[in-house]
Amino acid sequence: MVNKRIYLTSPHMSEEGYEMEYIKEAFDTNWIAPLGKNVDEFEHEIAQKVKVNDAVALTSGTAALHMALRASGVTPGDIVFCPSFTFSASANPIIYQGASPVFIDSDLKTWNMDPIVLGKAFMMYKPKAVLVVHLYGLAAQMDAIVDLCKKYHVTLIEDAAESLGTTYKGVHTGTMGDFGVYSFNGNKIITTSGGGMLVSNQKDLIDKVRYWATQSRDDAPYYQHSELGFNYKMSNIIAGIGRGQLKVLDRRIQKKKEIFQFYQNRLSDLEGLEMMPVHPDSDPNYWLSCILLNGKVSPTQIIKVLGENNIEARYTWKPMHMQPYFSEYEFVGEGICEEIFNRGVCLPSDTKLTLDDLDRIVELIRSVWKQ
Ligand SMILES: Cc1ncc(COP(=O)(O)O)c(C=O)c1O
């Protein structure tokens, strides 16, 4: 018999069916699209949750990053600092704006942008914005990064696509810079099937993004557009899913944390295996539990043995400066992110995992050390 498929992470709707209630309300009132109560409330609820002044719900995290760069005044020819160790969606919107990324190395303490390397990069380039990413739910070293951005008067955008609910010194990731971005893509800690949110304490800029994202329709009796427009607003149905999911965010974080602790307890004795770093200043959402291998066992061996048993595991992100598309752009650092890519594995972190599933995963991983 083929074992049931275990995913890295998959959509997990609320046990109570909250999402369907909000969707039903949208159907009953015929507010299917474009906007409506669910959108307004979802924006308000996210802003309240992360303690920020304002939020705008968009079609994806990528669209939210694009709008954040635009609202930061990034235009063709500008430079934007971005970590190399990330998903390509962090870097692509820099290109949409006609700007150039300069990729910054990670540190081993957080796996995120290294503030020391960032400081060196500031001495080499004059960027228009810094885009920091909080990968896998781990927070970057924000105090040092915020200080550098203030010192050089540069806008700071936080790509918190993977880290909704993570805090750094008690403050939510996504709220320490000028703009923060969350993703509700299917694999995220809560999902709307697809969607994103841009948050900021600067209400005027969020209002501007809301205008751009609805095709830049002026307040006029006819269709008038004074600026370039985008079709980036989230629909009222999708926002209904988001409202339902937000009610179970804390429950999902708790389960993700238990998954991480399970792996930590049952794998840490293996020679050359370290868990991803949890910085003492942060309280992660543990979106994915990742490990770093040092020596005898390779990521490929782990991914293979799990794959043969119908269990999904993945390599950590391949750095942007190693990607064929981005290879022409500059990279600053010593190649720590290459090391994490070469040695890292993302383990199954689905909130629907049972204790039996976790036992099986751990035994399969341990079997590689016995080969
Ligand atoms: C780090 C990071 N940035 C940006 C995104 C883009 O979000 P979306 O898929 O909602 O466009 C994702 C996820 O997909 C991500 O993991």
Instruction: Give the CATH number for residue 50.
Output: 3.40.640.10
Q: How far is the CA of 3 from the centre of ligand 1 (A)?
A: 30
With a pLDDT cut of 70, the percent of the chain lying above it is 99
Domain-located, residue 145: yes
Bond before 34 cis per omega within 30 degrees = yes
Note whether 262 and 210 are same-domain residues: no
Tell me the average pLDDT of the chain: 97
Q: Are strands 196-200 and 179-183 parallel, antiparallel or unpaired?
A: antiparallel
Q: How many CB atoms lie within 10 A of CB 274?
A: 17
Model confidence pLDDT, tens digit, residues 10-27: 999 999 999 999 999 999
Q: For a ligand 1 pocket test, name from 66, 162, 245 the mutation site with the most ligand atoms within 8 angstroms of its C-beta.
A: 162
Domain-located, residue 3: no
Q: Please tell me if the CB atom of residue 142 comes closer than 6 angstroms to any atom of ligand 1.
A: no
Distance between CA 102 and CA 130 in Å, rounded? 10
Model confidence pLDDT, tens digit, residues 235-276: 999 999 999 999 999 999 999 999 999 999 999 999 999 999
Note whether 341 and 240 are same-domain residues: no
Instruction: Return the sign of the alpha-carbon dihedral for residues 10, 16, 17, 19.
Output: negative
Q: Please tell me if the CB atom of residue 91 comes closer than 6 angstroms to any atom of ligand 1.
A: no
Q: Residue 128 in contact with residue 73, Cβ under 8 Å? A: yes
Atom of ligand 1 nearest to the CA of 162: 16
Domain-located, residue 7: no
At 36, the pLDDT band (50, 70, 90 cuts) reads: confident
Strands of the 171-172 sheet, one edge to the other: 171-172, 167-168, 282-283
CA proximity to 85, closest of 125, 114, 121: 114
Distance between CA 82 and CA 101 in Å, rounded? 6
Note whether 105 and 195 are same-domain residues: yes
* Alpha carbon 67 to chain centroid, angstroms: 16
Note whether 158 and 211 are same-domain residues: yes
Note whether 293 and 181 are same-domain residues: no
Across residues 303-313, what is the average pLDDT? 98
- The number of folded domains in the chain is 2
Cα three-residue angle 51-57-61, rounded to 5 degrees:
95
Note whether 121 and 265 are same-domain residues: no
**Cβ-count burial of 224 within 10 angstroms (0-12 exposed, 13-18 middle, 19+ buried)?**
exposed
Domain-located, residue 188: yes
Domain-located, residue 11: no
Identify which has the larger pLDDT, 202 or 29.
Answer: 202
Identify which has the larger pLDDT, 123 or 4.
Answer: 123
149 pLDDT exceeds 60? Answer: yes
Which of 223, 246, 269 corresponds to the end of one domain? 246
Model confidence pLDDT, tens digit, residues 166-181: 999 999 999 999 999 9
Distance between CA 149 and CA 129 in Å, rounded? 8
Across residues 23-50, what is the average pLDDT? 91
Its domain, for residue 89, covers 18-246
Which of 246, 276, 304 corresponds to the end of one domain? 246
Domain-located, residue 2: no
* pLDDT at position 289: 98
Domain-located, residue 13: no
291 pLDDT exceeds 90? Answer: yes
Q: For a ligand 1 pocket test, name from 106, 136, 183 the mutation site with the most ligand atoms within 8 angstroms of its C-beta.
A: 183
Note whether 50 and 36 are same-domain residues: yes
With a pLDDT cut of 90, the percent of the chain lying above it is 96
Which of 220, 246, 272 corresponds to the end of one domain? 246
Across residues 292-309, what is the average pLDDT? 96
At 1, the pLDDT band (50, 70, 90 cuts) reads: low
Cα atoms found within 13 Å of the Cα of residue 306, Cβ hemisphere only: 27
154 pLDDT exceeds 90? Answer: yes
Note whether 73 and 147 are same-domain residues: yes
Q: Please tell me if the CB atom of residue 178 comes closer than 6 angstroms to any atom of ligand 1.
A: no
Note whether 360 and 272 are same-domain residues: yes
* pLDDT at position 14: 97
* pLDDT at position 2: 62
Q: Whose CA is nearest to atom 8 of ligand 1?
A: 61
CATH at residue 263: 3.90.1150.10
Q: Are strands 79-83 and 129-133 parallel, antiparallel or unpaired?
A: parallel
Note whether 270 and 233 are same-domain residues: no
Across residues 279-295, what is the average pLDDT? 96
* pLDDT at position 32: 78
At 295, the pLDDT band (50, 70, 90 cuts) reads: confident
Q: What are phi and psi of 56, to 5 degrees?
A: -130, 130
Domain-located, residue 172: yes
Note whether 49 and 178 are same-domain residues: yes
Note whether 253 and 238 are same-domain residues: no
